Structure 1
Amino acid sequence: MVAKRQEEASPDAVLTRIGQAVMLHRGGDREEARNRLGELWQELGVEDDTLHHCTLAHYLADTQDDPADELAWDLRALAVADRLMRDHDAWAEHDGAAAEPVAEGAERAARSGRPPLREQPCSPGDDGEEAGEPGATEAAETSRRRAVAAVRGLYPALHLNLAADYAKLGRPDAARAQLDLAKATSGALSDDSYGKGVRTAIGRLALRLTDTSGEPAPPPGQHPWA
């Protein structure tokens, strides 16, 4: 029983379950997807800030029927991402590396048109090796770098979703501010189908926010790039 619980809580198992729920949602079963993601959120524990929490909140937002609830989950996802990056910055500063706080970096990038740079390893975490063992420090640094890269890659979509949320709620100024942040952080996107989709959606939403024809924003629970 213990082994089964550990397997269900493992990173790969969590990602698999998130993926299964997302497929249900894309298949049209929003309620079941919302239920499964909600159960997983409770299992992970709301006191811990991990990349899985950020990803889970990100997708939970898409399953909400009420735009206000969708906004709440998208804000929660962004808050987790910000805390993860602050942990990284604190680790980098403690390690003697200069790091720019995520909020200041994103805002400065939005004004300058350049994405914030985050090349240092992220916050310390359990990499599966005991401290002091050969290779433990290198493995921990690799793990931190991967986590930072993953969070950086999520920021454009996190801000894009918030921009769409605010547009649906009739708050165009807030929507434009979030869209500026989505553009500023889009340099972290890979040149794959996902990255291209997010960039296309940023441009499409930008047109909608400046369009006077009255074209509606994406419906509740739908990615703006879907």
Structure 2
Amino acid sequence: MCESTSKQSNICAILVRMADDRMADIFAAVRLGGVNPEAARRALRALWDELDPSGYPLQRCVVAHHLAVLQENDAEALAWDQRALAAVFGPGIPLDEGLRCFLPSLYLNLADSHRRLGEFDSARMQLAIARGHLRILADDAYGEMIRSGLDRVDAAVGSGSTERFTD
């Protein structure tokens, strides 16, 4: 959940406001990842190829973010993590609340990808950036998931682990 002046907005509400056919397709592909990762990768990649680079950045960010998670190769995961962040910070893209809410998660995933590649200095830098964006998150289950994820990746960096987390 993201904090706003009204304290009522959250990621789900932001995405529901954009509940167009394209987002429905994206959510269907994301859900598919839980049962058939290969089919989800194909569906998300097809959506990525269809999305206009000048189109709505949140759609591109969500697709790239989930493609990163579904990659079996850590270098490919990092490339998709970078695409997700680029979708947020592309030229002329206003950083609205919907995009700001994703920053801690995007930087967390970048940190974890760098860690799995043994790029510990880069991982530490991404962790620091992620922590700098935590104020946007509410003290709810989503915020706690991101905060505990940061702690977990930080501990793995500290121990020099490049292993993927199994859960």
Check if 1:178 corresponds to 2:126: yes
Residues 58-102 of structure 1: CA deviation (Å, up to 9, x unaligned): 111111121111111110111111127x543xxxxxxxxxxxxxx
Question: Which residue is 2:24 aligned to?
Answer: 16
Question: Which residue is 1:81 aligned to?
Answer: 88
Question: Which residue is 1:218 aligned to?
Answer: 165
Larger relative contact order (Cα-Cα within 8 Å, sequence gap ≥ 6): 2
Q: How does 1:1-226 map to 2 (within 5 A)?
A: 11-27=19-35, 29-48=36-55, 50-83=57-90, 87-88=93-94, 148-211=96-159, 214=161, 216-218=163-165
Matched AA of 2:52: G
Matched AA of 2:44: L
- In 2, Cα distance between equivalents of 1:71 and 1:12: 28
- In 2, Cα distance between equivalents of 1:161 and 1:62: 8
Tell me the TM-score normalized by structure 1: 0.60
- In 2, Cα distance between equivalents of 1:202 and 1:162: 11
Q: Decide which structure has the larger Cα Rg and report it.
A: 1
Q: In structure 2, do the counterparts of structure 1 residues 192 and 17 end up closer, same or farther at CA, with 3 Å as the change threshold?
A: farther
Question: Which residue is 2:8 aligned to?
Answer: none
Give 1:11 shift: 4.7
Give 1:163 shift: 0.4
- In 1, Cα distance between equivalents of 2:155 and 2:164: 11
Tell me the TM-score normalized by structure 2: 0.80
Contact 2:78–2:110, Cα closer than 8 Å, also in 1: yes
Give 1:215 shift: 7.3
Matched AA of 2:57: T
Q: State how many pairs are aligned.
A: 150
Matched AA of 1:37: L
In angstroms, what is the RMSD of aligned CA positions? Answer: 2.1
- In 1, Cα distance between equivalents of 2:56 and 2:24: 19
Q: Which runs of 5+ in 1 are unaligned?
A: 1-9, 89-121, 123-147, 220-225
- In 2, Cα distance between equivalents of 1:87 and 1:25: 28
Question: Which residue is 1:99 aligned to?
Answer: none
Give 1:211 shift: 2.4
Moved over 6 A (4+): none
- Partner-residue secondary structure (3-state), 2:89: helix
